[in-house]
Amino acid sequence: MTIFYRSFAKRIPMRRVYTVMFLLLSACTVFADEVNLPHNDLSLNGEMVLAPGRSLSDGVILILHGTLGHSGMEIVSTLQTLFAENDRSSLAINLSLGIDDRHGFLPCETEHTHTMEDASEELNAWLSWLKSMNAGEIVLLGHSRGGNQVARFIADYDPDIKAAILIAPSSGAELAGPNRDRNLQQAKGSAWLHDLTFLHCSNATVSAESYVSYYGPANPLGTAPILNKIDVPVLVFAGREDQVVPDLVEHMRMVNRRNIVFEEIDGADHFFRDLYADDIVERSLEFLEAACCEEAPNNSGRLITWAESFVADARLSIKEHRPIVVFISQTGCEFCAALRQKVLFPMMRSGQMQKQAVFREVSLDEGFAVEDFDGAMIAGRKFAQRYAADVTPTLLFLDSNGNELTKKRVGISNIEYYGFYLGRSIKAATAALK
């Protein structure tokens, strides 16, 4: 259990503007200070909040705002205050969006020239500056589109960071925009696009380069596909009442990597107002202190291993006297996703499952094949049909010859008690081993 020490209760009231050099010389570590950083003929700015008694060498959370937003947004300033109260310093930056020393929301009537690549370059500039300041461990945090941009930055730049926290990151549908294909076609022959929907702006004027950057085929829609390319520990939050990215939960069900932790907060909307920000900070601190963040995994990152060779699994089963548990799944199976998130992932992360069984996953999807117990290759669907396991999810409990040790578990009747009954099945299978 983490104990939080709240040293002050209100937003830090004082603001002072520093250049980078002056901040280097400053001994003040209490107030919220504006930091300026030169970058590509522009002045970038951000708000630094050093926790009382802390310095950058103790580590910092680099925070990125959402679509056309800024560092002073309520969710950002609230998170900075709460993190500081819990001994975590933070730097909330403003993307320039092509504007020198930008503050506040970018007006929709602006001629938009900014790109997704600009965001990554500016994140990299801030990260490099923090390294030059001898900052300790760095955590990246992004809200909404900022979460999506943080994920893209990590996937493209592979930065030296401790972990990432994504709060309601853009999930897919809201990134597509109306008339996307028509606008992309028009962008091929025009320098500017006029009177179109861009991000959340209607009747916008946008450079072709900017539009293609945000909506073109080079940028996959949604955050979930990007997470499959990331190896650092990532904590993703969704609000159950979020109407901006309502499909985030559905998208995250398809993410199955040991370094990705997903949390859904009941009652929270897209901006996690009121006490929901406290939930974000409390869970984030627990996540950052957890063993999962000590070292990023260097393998494929899957918590549940795809079955590749039941011959090899059989040898392991005999050696360690553990039954082989086979999870039968298929793409688009919502109950499979629920079983992973609510039962199997927690058991895997705790190490409980690995101690009790050789756990493998077999897919009914076309193209999936595995080495059978006799050494021959077999399609996943045919393997499942042998055990009359056409319904997903199904869990099989097998010995080293592929024989069933106890009754298979078909479907989900009550997810809350599934872990209990799964444990009983594994014990029965272990007892039946010869």
CATH 1.10.10.10 fits 15-172+222-293, yes or no: no
Task: List where CATH 3.40.30.10 sits in the chain.
Answer: 310-432
CATH 3.40.50.10800 fits 310-432, yes or no: no
Q: Give the closest residue to 162 by CA, choosing from 261, 234, 221.
A: 234
**Residues recorded for the chain:** 434
Q: Give the closest residue to 415 by CA, choosing from 358, 316, 341.
A: 341
pLDDT in tens, the chain (434 residues): 222 222 223 333 333 344 344 344 333 334 678 999 999 999 999 999 999 999 999 999 999 999 999 999 999 999 999 999 999 999 999 999 999 999 999 999 999 999 999 999 999 999 999 999 999 999 999 999 999 999 999 999 989 999 999 999 987 655 556 788 888 899 988 899 999 989 889 899 999 999 998 888 766 668 888 888 888 899 999 999 999 998 888 888 777 677 888 888 989 999 999 789 999 998 898 888 764 444 433 334 567 888 989 999 999 999 999 999 999 998 768 788 788 878 888 888 888 888 899 999 998 887 788 999 999 999 999 999 999 998 999 999 999 999 999 999 999 888 888 999 999 999 999 999 97
Cβ 44 vs Cβ 133: under 8 Å: no
How would you classify the pairing of strands 324-329 and 394-398? antiparallel
214-219-222 Cα angle (round to 5): 90
Task: List where CATH 3.40.50.1820 sits in the chain.
Answer: 15-172+222-293
Cβ 93 vs Cβ 63: under 8 Å: yes
